[in-house]
Structure 1
Amino acid sequence: MSQDSGQDRTEEPTEKRLREAREKGDVPRSRELANLAVLGMTALAMLAMASSIGSAAQGWLRGALTFEPGLLGNPDQLAGHFARLLAGLMVPFLPVLGVALLACLVSPAVMGGLRWASKSLQPDFKRLNPASGLKRIYGKEGFAELLRSLLRVVLVAGVGALVISGAMSKLLAIPRMSLEGAIGTGLDVAAMTLVSIVGSLALLAAIDVPWQKFQHRSKLKMTKQEVRDELKQTEGNPELKARMRQVARQMSQRRMMEAVPTADVVVMNPTHYAVALKYDSGTMRAPRVVAKGVDEMALRIRELATSHRVAVVEAPPLARALYRQAQVDQEIPVKLYAAVAQVLSYVYQLRHWSPGRGDAPRLQQPDLGADGAPDADAPEAGR
């Protein structure tokens, strides 16, 4: 089965896939929310500035209806006069237009955030494919867009017709009103119509926004194989990481084996644990662990120590405690100082002893005490 099959895309998109989609400009968009933001903020701006717009419109209309005798003998000035009248009409509405332009940023900010996606500006020749275009028009997305457009037209037209029909008596009375009253009544009806249409668009946006987000996430869903491939790319190939850990472990073991011949003593248990210690009073504050191992590694450490004449001491409790509590290339814990000092003292005495010079030194098993004793409940405690 193809990985690109829609039936296989059952996994939610990962953060990496969502981030890449945002970088390409592929974010959810709601046309209904955009219409609501532009028309709604425009209506609010008109209501807030209704008095100033009405006064400006009244002054403009009075000036436009004032007769200018100079135009009678200069018909070539009519075009300029008309341009000045048009510009004068636009000036009161410039703040409203500015608010409408700012409102265009509301929908992108709410749906997917404002982001400059240069990739979306790059030419995509696949969009020029007539088959793809026909598929978009006559496919499910095209059908859904057609239904939304029809619903938008029916709802907005119906709400506008209801508002205007309810205000018909006011509109019919405008010719009998004064100029100021006619302008005020017209603005009231227009504002009421805008508010009603904005309410209908808000209903459409409340339905369209969740639907667009759901559609966008559905489009970005991934197959199980895509999730696995992305995990390999971000966290690395598991087989390669395992191989790297194995190589690192082998290198660490090699370094330990190279350090065993330089050790002063190897503490054993007697075969399951082995810890090699080195101490130089001139350069070290305390004995340092140069190698440690368990089972097969412990036997290798013992064999290497024996072949290089490194003292091997059997002290099972101390060997277990050192293995658990001390780290390679680090000093031993303070609570094991006394026990290790007993072992090193025995080793130094053994080095200076020779047959015929009295009894051979004997090691008294170190007393670890409560703090240094290994956990009796641990699985290895019986080794």
Structure 2
Amino acid sequence: MQLQLDLQFFAGEKTEKATPKKRSDERKKGRVAKSQDINTAFLLLFVLILMAVFGSFMKDNMLALYQHSFTEYINWELTENNIFQLFTEATIELVKIIAPVLVIALIIGVASNLMQIGFLFTTEPLKFDLKKIDPIQGAKRIFSMRALVELLKSFLKIVVIGSITFMVIWIFKDDMLMTAFKNAENALAFFGRTTLIMGISATIALLFLAVFDYAYQRYDFEKNMRMSKQDIKDEYKNIEGDPFIKSKIKEKQRQIAMRRMMSEIPNADVVITNPTHYAIAIKYDEDKASAPYVVGKGVDHIAFKIREIAKANNVMTVENRPLARSLYASVEIGEAIPEEFYQAVAEVLAYVYRMEKKV
């Protein structure tokens, strides 16, 4: 009894790698190994690079909008048409400023996901699921090992990024104190460069941490995807069908084939026997085949049935032990006899035709 319980325990233990079918099913549900930190790191990195390249363009457009607002718009009369025109022009200018950032963010967001999981479109995560609002399941997620790892990971990111930020500020502390003696444009340029250095440094560190996060996400995903031996057996049954049901279907098919074969025996020209163990029903119809062909065959009780049906329908039975055995082993039902049996079968058929003429 104890041994049986132990075997059931090990059969239910998830020690096997996930099958391709399970991976495909989980992917269709949107469950894949993905690190959000990689998306965030790439997004920040490329946005910061974009701002470094197009920063002067964005600054010039913002200053132009600011100057135009306080030199032109401020003098306009407060009418419906003027307000609409002001809103339209200001929106167009803001779109020019923000559009490059939004476009690069969209491209990098899509590219980073494609890099991790390839193309995947599914609406499964959007479907309503009561388990998502189950307080018990929610508590389990909050106090799970994964939640603890995510907490430690967030704490590590805060420490690393905070340290890098402090180091950059500490390096430029003297220049920062000297901004009091600079004009507004130079001070803004200094803070812009410092912020860019700070952002890129922190992003590179975040990207480095994201690589480890992705490795952990892959490990955790593979761990959760593991299957027990019983799961694999059940999946195989679902794919291939229950063995018991399959055997029943095969048995049914055999019965149908047997009935079809037995219905052809009355049309045979001769039944060649062993005489007791083998029975081969032969027919020659030059309209259907160029050579005699087998319409039925069997051993033991099936052979007995063939002989019985042949006798009831006046089909002649001829005993030829070597020929019966050879035909049974070499020719399937519906197939023409091979060339090496032509002479032997022709002699049998000739004998049958002579006997039928005498009758």
Q: State TM-score, norm by structure 1.
A: 0.74
Q: Decide whether aligned partners of structure 1 residues 317 and 192 sit closer, same or farther in structure 2, where only a CA change above 3 A counts.
A: farther
Find the counterpart in structure 2 of residue 162 from structure 1: 167
Matched residue, 1:235: 240
- 2:59: which partner in 1? 57
Question: In the TM superposition, what whole-angstrom CA distance separates every residue of 1:57-107 from its partner, at most 9, and x where no partner exists?
Answer: 156448758995789999x99xx9999889867743430232123333344
Matched residue SS, 1:241: helix
- What amino acid maps onto 2:262 in structure 1? M
Determine helix, strand or coil for the equivalent of 2:226.
coil
User: Share of identical aligned residues, percent?
Assistant: 32
Q: CA deviation at 1:181?
A: 6.4
Q: Aligned with 1:289: secondary structure?
A: strand
Q: Does 1:290 align with 2:295?
A: yes
Q: Which amino acid is the alignment partner of residue 53 of structure 1?
A: G
> Aligned to 2:24, which of 7, 19, 22?
19
Distance 1:311 1:317 in 2: 18
State the match for 1:256 in structure 2: 261
Question: Could you say which residue in structure 1 is the equivalent of 2:344?
Answer: 339
Distance in 1 (alpha carbons) for counterparts of 2:89 and 2:191:
24
> Where do 1:1-383 residues align within 5 Å?
8-46=13-51, 50-58=52-60, 60-61=62-63, 64=66, 91-168=96-173, 171=176, 186-353=191-358
One-letter code aligned to 1:247: K
- 8 Å CA contact 1:275–1:292 kept in 2: the answer is yes
Counterpart Cα distance in 2 of 1:98 and 1:119: 27
- Which whole-Å CA distance do the structure 2 matches of 1:289 and 1:7 have between them? 52
* Contact 2:12/2:230 (<8 A) preserved: no
Mean Cα deviation higher: 101-110 or 209-218: 101-110
Q: Secondary structure at the match of 1:313?
A: strand
TM-fit CA distance, 1:149: 0.3
| Cα contact 2:282–2:294 (8 A) shared by 1 | yes
Task: Supply the distance in 2 between the matched residues of 1:328 and 1:69 (Cα, whole angstroms).
Answer: 100
Alpha-carbon distance change, 327 to 5 in structure 1, aligned in 2, over 3 angstroms: closer
1:235 positional shift: 1.6
Seen in structure 2, the aligned counterparts of structure 1 residues 315 and 43 have a Cα distance that, compared at 3 Å, is farther
Residues 316 and 352 of structure 2 are in contact (CA less than 8 Å); yes or no, is this contact kept in structure 1?
Answer: yes
Structure 1 counterpart SS, 2:128: coil
Equivalent AA in structure 1 for residue 350 of structure 2:
S
Q: Pick closer, same or farther for the CA change 1:59–1:42 going to 2, 3 Å.
A: closer
Alpha carbons of 1:141 and 1:4: their partners in 2 closer, same or farther (altered >3 Å)? farther
Give the letter aligned to residue 220 of structure 1: M
Q: What residue number does 1:370 align with?
A: none
Aligned-pair Cα RMSD in Å: 4.0
- TM-score of the two chains, using structure 2 as the length reference: 0.79
Equivalent residue letter for 1:205: A
Q: CA offsets per residue over residues 94-127 of structure 1, 9 Å max, x none?
A: 3023212333334443444454433322333333
Cα distance in structure 2, aligned partners of 1:31 and 1:9: 27
Other structure's SS at 1:10 match: coil
- Which is helix-richer, 1 or 2? 2
How far apart in 2 are the matches of 1:72 and 1:242? 88
Q: Which has the higher contact order (CA 8 A, sep 6+)?
A: 2
Mapped partners of 2:156, 2:19: distance in 1: 35
Deviation at 1:292, TM superposition (A): 0.8
Report deviation, 1:311. Answer: 2.5
Shift of 1:151: 0.7
The answer to whether the 8 A contact 1:269-1:316 is kept is yes
Asked if the contact 1:260/1:301 (under 8 Å) is kept, the reply is yes
